[in-house]
Amino acid sequence: MGRAFVYVILGGGVAAGYAALEFSRRQVAPGELCIISEESVAPYERPALSKGYLLPENPARLPQFHTCVGANEERLTTKWYREKGIELILGTRVKSADLKKKELLTSSGETITYNYLIIATGARALKLEEFGVRGSEAENVCYLRDIADADRMVNIMQSCAGKNAVVIGGGYIGMECTAALVTNKIKVTMVFPEKHCMARLFTAKMAEFYENYYKARGVKFVKGNVLTSFENDPFGKVTAVILRDGTRIPADMVVVGIGIRANTTLFDGLEKGGAKLALEKGGIKVNGRMQTSDGSVYAVGDVAAFPVKLFGNDIRRLEHVDSARKTARHAVSAIMAPDETGDLDYLPFFYSRVFALSWQFYGDNVGEAVHFGDFPNGRFGVYWVNEGCIIGAFLEGGAKEEYEAISKVVKTRAKVSNVGELEKLGSGFALRE
Ligand code: FAD
Ligand code: NDP
C-alpha cells in the first residue's frame, strides 16, 4: 500500500501547522501536501498546554487553539485542511525513512513517497529513568508534552485539590506547571539541582524575584537536590518522593519537567540500514534555508539545529515556539520560491506567562548582565552586554512598545558606551534608540 505526495511534513505540531499555512499561501495544489502525525488532532499551539489548558475555570480546549492563532493568523481546523486538499494522516507514527528512495514507512504499514520532505518531529520529554530513577509509569506521575499528557494532568489535578504536589525540575515546565497547580489549589514543592530556578536563562537576581513571588503563594523550593526514588502505596501510586540527601516529601501527585531530547532517531543512522543526516547540537543540522545534508529534506522547529546570523552563524537548536513558526515558514519559502529566499535572519525570542506575570527575552544571555528597573514590584529587565554591544534583553511586565524596543536594540546590537547609564535608563535606553 502506498501514496505519493510532492510535499510531506513529518510531524504534526507547531512547525507543521505554520508550514501548512505557508504552503497554502503559496498556492500548493490540492493533493500535493500531506502531514503525518502521531497525534490524533490537527496541529495546535503547544504552549497552551501549560497555561490556558490547565486553568480550573474556562480552560482552553481544542478547536480553540489550533495553529496558527498564536501568531494572530488563521485557525487551521480539520475542515480547513480538508478544504485546501491537504491530507492529514493522524494517529500515525513514521517508523522508518529511506532517503534514497524518498520514502517513509508508517506504523499502519503504508509507504509514503515525497519529492520534498520537511522533518518537524519536535522533541520528547526526558524520562526519570534516563537519570536512573524508576517509577515514571505510576498513575499520579505526570509529564507534559502533548494533549494526552495534559488531559491526564487535568484529571489528576482534579483529585488533588488541597493536597500536595512535588514538581521535579526548575525550568519552563516546572515554573509554568507549578503556577497552574497553585491556581488549582494544590500545594507545591519544587525540587531541582541548580542554585535557582530557570538557571539557563535567569541570573540569580532575576530568579530571586520569581522565587519570592512563588513563595508568597505558598510554593516551597528545594534546591541543589535531586529525586532518587519514589515511595508507593500497595497499588503503585506514589505517596512520597525521596531525595539524594534522604529528605522525604509527601506527594499526592508529581510533575516532571527535566528537559527534552529532539526526535532525531529516524535520521541518526544508528539503526542498521537506517537513514542518516548530519546532526549537531542534538538536532538535525540545516543551513540557513533549513535544508539538511540531503537536498530534498528540510528540518524545522525543535528538531532543527540552524545557523543564527546574529550570533555569527553559530549553530543553535532552539526549543521555543517562535523559532518553530519562523523556521517552518522559511523552509516552505525556500522550497516553493527558492530564488527569492535567502538565509534566515532570526532573532531568538522566548517568552513565558505565569500567574499575573509575563516576560519576553530576545537574543543571547552571554556577557555582562545589566539589571534595571523596579525588582520588588515586578517591573524590571536585564540587558546582556558583550564587547560593548547589547546582545540580549529581558523584560518582565513590559508594555508592547517596550518589548518592541528591546528586540530592536538586540537585533541592531546597539552600542553601549556607559553601562551605568544603561542601568539607569533601563527600557528607556531602548525606547530612545
Ligand atoms: P512539536 O510541536 O513537539 O511537534 C512535533 C510533532 O511531531 C508532534 O505532533 C509529534 O507527535 C510528531 N512526531 C514526532 N515523531 C513522529 C513520528 N516518528 N511520526 C509521526 N509523528 C511524529 N515555547 C515558547 O516559546 N513559549 C511557551 O510558552 C511555550 N510553552 C510550552 C508549553 C509546553 C507544555 C510545551 C511542551 C512546550 C512549550 N513551548 C513553548 C515550546 C514549543 O511548544 C515548542 O518549541 C514547539 O512546539 C516546537 O514545535 P515543533 O513543531 O518543532 O515540535
Ligand atoms: P528545561 O530544560 O527548561 O528545564 C529542565 C529542568 O530540569 C532544569 O532545571 C534542569 O536542570 C532540571 N533537571 C534536569 N535533570 C533533573 C533531575 N534529574 N532532577 C531534577 N531536575 C532536573 O526543560 P523543561 O522540561 O522545563 O521544558 C521542556 C521543553 O518545553 C523545553 O524545550 C522548553 O523550552 C519547553 N517549554 C517552553 C516554555 C516556554 O518557553 N515558556 C514553557 C514550557 C515548556 P539542569 O539545567 O541542571 O539540567
With the most atoms of ligand 2 within 8 angstroms of its CB, the residue from 134, 173, 394 to mutate is 173
Closest CA to 76 of 148, 150, 22: 22
Strand partners, 359: 352, 396
Residues in contact with ligand 1 (CB, 6 Å cut-off): 11-16, 36-39, 46-47, 49-50, 93-94, 120-123, 144-145, 263, 266, 301-303, 319-322, 324, 350-352
The answer to whether 84 and 76 have CB atoms below 8 angstroms apart is no
Strand partners, 230: 241
ipTM exceeds 0.90? yes
Q: Is the pLDDT of residue 59 over 80?
A: yes
Cell digits of residue 11: 510531524
Q: Whose CA is nearest to atom 8 of ligand 2?
A: 171
- Predicted confidence at residue 2, as pLDDT, reads 93
Distance 125 CA to ligand 2 centre (A): 9
Atom of ligand 2 nearest to the CA of 175: 26
**Coil, strand, or helix at residue 431?**
helix
Average pLDDT, the chain: 97
Q: Is the pLDDT of residue 1 over 80?
A: no
The answer to whether 24 and 17 have CB atoms below 8 angstroms apart is no
Distance 336 CA to ligand 1 centre (A): 24
With the most atoms of ligand 2 within 8 angstroms of its CB, the residue from 130, 244, 319, 353 to mutate is 319
145-195: pLDDT as tens digits: 999 999 999 999 999 999 999 999 999 999 999 999 999 999 999 999 999
104-137: pLDDT as tens digits: 999 999 999 999 999 999 999 999 999 999 999 9
Residue 199 Cβ contacting ligand 2 at under 6 Å: yes
Cell digits of residue 105: 514507512
Q: Whose CA is nearest to atom 2 of ligand 1?
A: 13
Closest CA to 134 of 51, 26, 229, 65: 229
Atom of ligand 2 nearest to the CA of 198: 9
Residue type, 224: G
- Predicted confidence at residue 314, as pLDDT, reads 97
Would you tell me how many other CB atoms lie within 10 Å of the CB of residue 276? 15
Distance 398 CA to ligand 2 centre (A): 25
Residue 166 Cβ contacting ligand 2 at under 6 Å: no
Residue type, 77: T
Atom of ligand 2 nearest to the CA of 302: 32
Q: Return the axis-axis angle of helices 172-183 and 147-158, rounded to nearest 10°.
A: 40
The answer to whether 163 and 253 have CB atoms below 8 angstroms apart is yes
Residue type, 36: I
373-424: pLDDT as tens digits: 999 999 999 999 999 999 999 999 999 999 999 999 999 999 999 999 999 9
> What's the chain's Rg over C-alpha atoms?
22
Q: Is the pLDDT of residue 62 over 90?
A: yes
Contacts of 331 (CB under 8 A, 6+ apart): 19, 118, 289, 290, 291, 298, 299, 300
- Predicted confidence at residue 273, as pLDDT, reads 81
What one-character-per-residue DSSP string does 243-301 give?
A: ETTS-EEE-SEEEE---EEE--GGGBS-STT--B--EETTEEE--TT-B-SSTTEEE-G
Edge to edge, the sheet with strand 164-168 lists 141-142, 253-256, 164-168, 187-192, 220-223
Q: Is the pLDDT of residue 75 over 80?
A: yes
334-383: pLDDT as tens digits: 999 999 999 999 999 999 999 999 999 999 999 999 999 999 999 999 99
231-288: pLDDT as tens digits: 999 999 999 999 999 999 999 999 999 999 999 999 999 888 889 999 999 999 999 9
Beta strand 260-262 pairing with 187-192:
unpaired
